[in-house]
């Protein structure tokens, strides 16, 4: 999911920090909008990465390809609409990652193809890794395995008996995710969806920037 090359690690640090902190900020922002002020009271309604980054989780991402941020604590009982709140809060994090990836792609296309400015290898690497890491983080978090965001969306729409069974998977989730990372399974999920989203981004940007090209 992430590389081991030292230069790539340095170039990828902005992308990782953005992917983690903006993901968690989006969870907090939508939770507050849905009526739960727990994230605000806990200081998570901020764009300051220090409020969201778990140092160990970030280091693990850099060196072991598996890491985490500080999870945003919410109280679903405070949501004006419990089901809608659960779904929107869960989707907010991945949606933010996809938005950041799109904006970074748009900046790269605008800078290089519209302004015709030379893109240095360093700048291209930083922007490209912002795109890739945010795409990967967004897609990964939509996998319906507890405690990932995809499982929260699924839990919100399943009948109670199925919710109980899905929640029971959480005791095995760490082993399942390690298995994903140690085998090609995760790549089979990430790569096709990554290519699909990039193709969609470039199609949209091709239409938006067509008058300037």
Is-contact 53 17, C-beta < 8 A?
yes
Residue 24 designated active-site: yes
Would the pLDDT of 24 be above 80? yes
pTM of the model: 0.92
Task: Indicate the range of 32-41, 60-69, 192-201 predicted with least confidence.
Answer: 60-69
Spatial CB neighbours of 198, under 8 Å, sequence gap ≥ 6: 105, 131, 135
pLDDT digits (tens, 9 = 90+) for 82-109: 999 999 999 999 999 999 999 999 999 9
Residues in the chain: 213
Is 50 exceeded by the pLDDT of residue 3?
no
Collapsing DSSP to helix, strand or coil, 53 comes out as strand
pLDDT digits (tens, 9 = 90+) for 57-67: 888 777 766 77
Residues 159, 190: Cα–Cα separation, whole Å: 29
Q: How far apart are the first and last CA of the chain?
A: 34
Residue 33 DSSP SS3: helix
Q: Choose the catalytic residue: 8, 24, 161, 170.
A: 24
């Amino acid at each position: 999911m992430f590389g081991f090359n030292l230069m790539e690690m340095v170039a990828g640090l902005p992308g990782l920090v953005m992917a983690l902190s903006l993901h968690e900020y989006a969870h907090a922002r939508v939770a507050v909008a849905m009526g739960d002020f727990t994230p605000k009271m806990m200081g998570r309604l901020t764009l300051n990465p220090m409020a969201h980054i778990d140092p160990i989780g970030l280091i693990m991402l850099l060196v072991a390809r598996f890491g985490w941020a500080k999870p945003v604590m919410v109280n679903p009982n405070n949501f004006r609409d419990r089901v809608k709140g659960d779904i929107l809060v869960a989707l907010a994090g991945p949606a933010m990652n996809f938005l950041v990836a799109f904006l970074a792609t748009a900046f790269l296309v605008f800078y290089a193809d519209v302004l015709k400015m030379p893109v240095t290898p360093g700048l291209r690497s930083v922007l490209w890794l912002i795109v890739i890491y945010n795409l990967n983080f967004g897609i990964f978090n939509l996998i319906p395995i507890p405690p990932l965001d995809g499982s929260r969306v699924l839990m919100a729409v399943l009948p109670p008996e199925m919710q109980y069974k899905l929640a029971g998977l959480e005791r095995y989730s760490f082993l399942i995710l390690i298995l994903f990372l140690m085998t090609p399974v995760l790549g089979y999920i990430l790569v096709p969806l990554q290519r699909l989203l990039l193709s969609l981004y470039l199609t949209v940007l091709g239409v938006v920037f067509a008058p300037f090209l």
